[in-house]
Structure 1
């Protein structure tokens, strides 16, 4: 059940159905983000963002209608090689005395099923998005009113001598009489704010129940809308894809034959139809490819800007040359473990910080205390510049 990813059988896997269902939401998020980035350079694109629900619904209406009309599948289902089939359950009896069994037969979609499919895939999500935005604003207003009081009342404009009976002028605030339309609008928002959470929870619960049953092979319907329409989603075979190509060609040929008018008008109409057909044919893959290309270019330029804005890291400077033995200084012994002052093996090794040469702590401390210099380089040194070593080479 969980490993039917190889494409065996006509029944799609749960992962294919989930991917096809989530593609429109992912596509909308990518388009919204892309237009938001472009709006930083082209401010007129903010108009599109202000009406993103309407623009996306119109886009999906065109794509879903064209896809259902030509392939009997939604925009996302076509990309995954899926097709919608009308379900007909027929009662059959295999042998005499045997029980009746259900036999599922698939057929092409009828016109009303295509229209209702577009309504379920475009119209209902649009109204759901609008209800969600209204509920969100109503909730924010309720929260603000509970914290700060009603937002439309200004305490500095209220006259305490009026006892709340005087009307407020147009500069400000509340009027004594509210229009009936305003009351209806506020009441509608209050009703949406009260009932939307229950509707949303019911919708999500039913969706989860259908997906769980589909995953457990208990039903052939992935969602409630497919069950209400009596539609199964099946994998498309190679023969169906070939037949679909010829079907589209015949359909377009008939549409060109129905053109009427002078030759120049028919040529113009034919050219417009060809442009429309080409745009619709490549809209599915082209739209997703354009979003992917835009995101890739954004990542590319963003990484380049980060590299340009990042502080320049320079290589570390080379170490200074080692100090040399002065002419009047004590010569260094050939063995590096011998103290230059006592010519014995170093005990409690310590280094003179100004020169880096190592001595016995007692020897270097006495010498520096007496002469105030390094015994090898004759550089000025104090007792505070002597450092003990915990490891001696």
Structure 2
């Protein structure tokens, strides 16, 4: 009872009867972010190198997904064998154990873990690419299998996303010791590494050693993809929010309420319609000089120099004479026929 009372609650972390400390939900999110951002980071590096060596990196770009799959399997197999978890899990001081035996995964359990860590993201990416390609094909040319896939694959992705959210909510409120459905399918759970675990390692990874300059530098370099990945995710979310907002009725009402109460006045002088009508027929109402490249604004019918009216409409969005809303698409160039046919 004393052990249970003194067990600190860290997010979703509690000390169980086997004295295993579960990582907090923030550790889980950080680990997932690192795992998801390593591949894009490598891809950007390859693209950057390709600016100078396009021929040499062409094959790498073509087979990048397969090459990264092989690298991921090699790296995570090594970390599972030596440290009991994947690279990203070990980086944040975690390992996997069997919930019943409390032993690190071996045999089928390890293979299942490697499948969901390395192989499944590869397959998910290929399925997403297939969905995008099939969506571009005309419906009449799609096979029955393609139609079935396009109809039910989005539901499958939604189901996985909902399951992930439910598992994390249950983990946060301490109803479950497993934060993701893939861990449950792998018959594994994550726990924090203990000092005893570190002593059992043949060689302690640099990021788990005592703090030092080299250790801090290594942690910083490895965490860069995770940080930029999260920032990129937040940026995409913000862009999607803006797109949703500007497409909504609230944005239209807000835009209408902030429209100019008075139309802009031309910087030289304000001309009324009667004044424009009494001008010489070849003068531009904006520059007051002989028109060059006659252009009519279709919303009002007045003729201007192309340069004058184009810049004005782009800047103000209005006809300078009638104040009707206007866009550059409503400009119509007029062409004069200077050839005269003289008859005797």
Alpha carbons of structure 1 residues 43 and 290: separation in structure 2 relative to 1, 3 Å: farther
Are 2:28 and 1:32 equivalent residues in the alignment? no
Q: 2:31 aligns with which of 13, 20, 29?
A: 20
**Matching residue within 51, 55, 58 for 1:46:** 58
Cα shift at 1:116 = 1.1
CA deviation after TM superposition for structure 1 residue 222, in Å: 1.0
| SS of aligned partner of 1:234 | strand
Cα distance in 2 between the residues matched to 1:87 and 1:108: 10
CA distance in structure 2 between the aligned counterparts of 1:74 and 1:133, rounded to whole angstroms? 26
| CA deviations over 1:39-70 (Å, ceiling 9, x no partner) | 11111313222222212211111111111111
5+ residue gaps, structure 2, are: 1-6, 16-20, 206-216, 229-344
Superposition RMSD on alpha carbons, in Å?
Answer: 3.5
Give 1:2 shift: 11
CA distance in 2, matches of 1:56, 1:291: 19
Any stretches of 5+ residues in structure 1 without a counterpart? 89-104, 151-182, 249-284, 297-393
Whole-Å separation in 1 of the counterparts to 2:104 and 2:179: 18
Task: Give the TM-score normalised by the residue count of structure 2.
Answer: 0.53
Secondary structure, counterpart of 2:52 in structure 1:
coil
Q: Check if 1:216 corresponds to 2:228.
A: no
Q: Structure 2: how far apart are the matches of 1:191 and 1:40?
A: 41
Question: 1:83 is paired with a residue of what secondary structure?
Answer: strand
1:200 aligns with 2:157: yes
Q: In structure 2, what is the Cα distance between the partners aligned to 1:27 and 1:63?
A: 12
Q: Return the index of the structure with the highest Cα Rg.
A: 1
**1:138 Cα shift?**
1.3
SS in 2 for 1:106: coil
Partner residue, 2:71: 59
Task: Output the CA distance in 1 between the equivalents of 2:131 and 2:8.
Answer: 38
Flag the 1:2–1:46 CA change in 2: closer, same or farther, 3 A: farther
> Which TM-score applies when normalising by structure 1?
0.46
The change in CA–CA distance for 1:2 and 1:42 in structure 2 (over 3 A counts) is farther
CA distance in 2, matches of 1:34, 1:247: 28
Tell which deviates more after alignment, 126-135 or 50-59.
50-59
Which secondary structure state, in structure 1, belongs to the residue aligned with residue 102 of structure 2?
A: strand
**Cα separation, 1, equivalents of 2:183 and 2:167:** 10
**How far does residue 110 in structure 1 lie from its aligned partner after superposition?**
2.6
The match for 1:141 is 137
Q: CA deviation at 1:77?
A: 0.4
> Deviation digits for residues 360-387 of structure 1, max 9, x if unmatched?
xxxxxxxxxxxxxxxxxxxxxxxxxxxx
Instruction: Answer yes or no: is the 8 Å Cα contact 2:34–2:223 preserved in 1.
Output: no
Q: Does 1:73 align with 2:85?
A: yes
1:38 is paired with a residue whose SS is: helix
Question: How many aligned residue pairs are there?
Answer: 205
Q: Counterparts of 1:218-367 in structure 2 under 5 Å?
A: 218-245=175-202, 289=221
Aligned to 1:118: 114
Aligned-partner SS, 2:175: coil
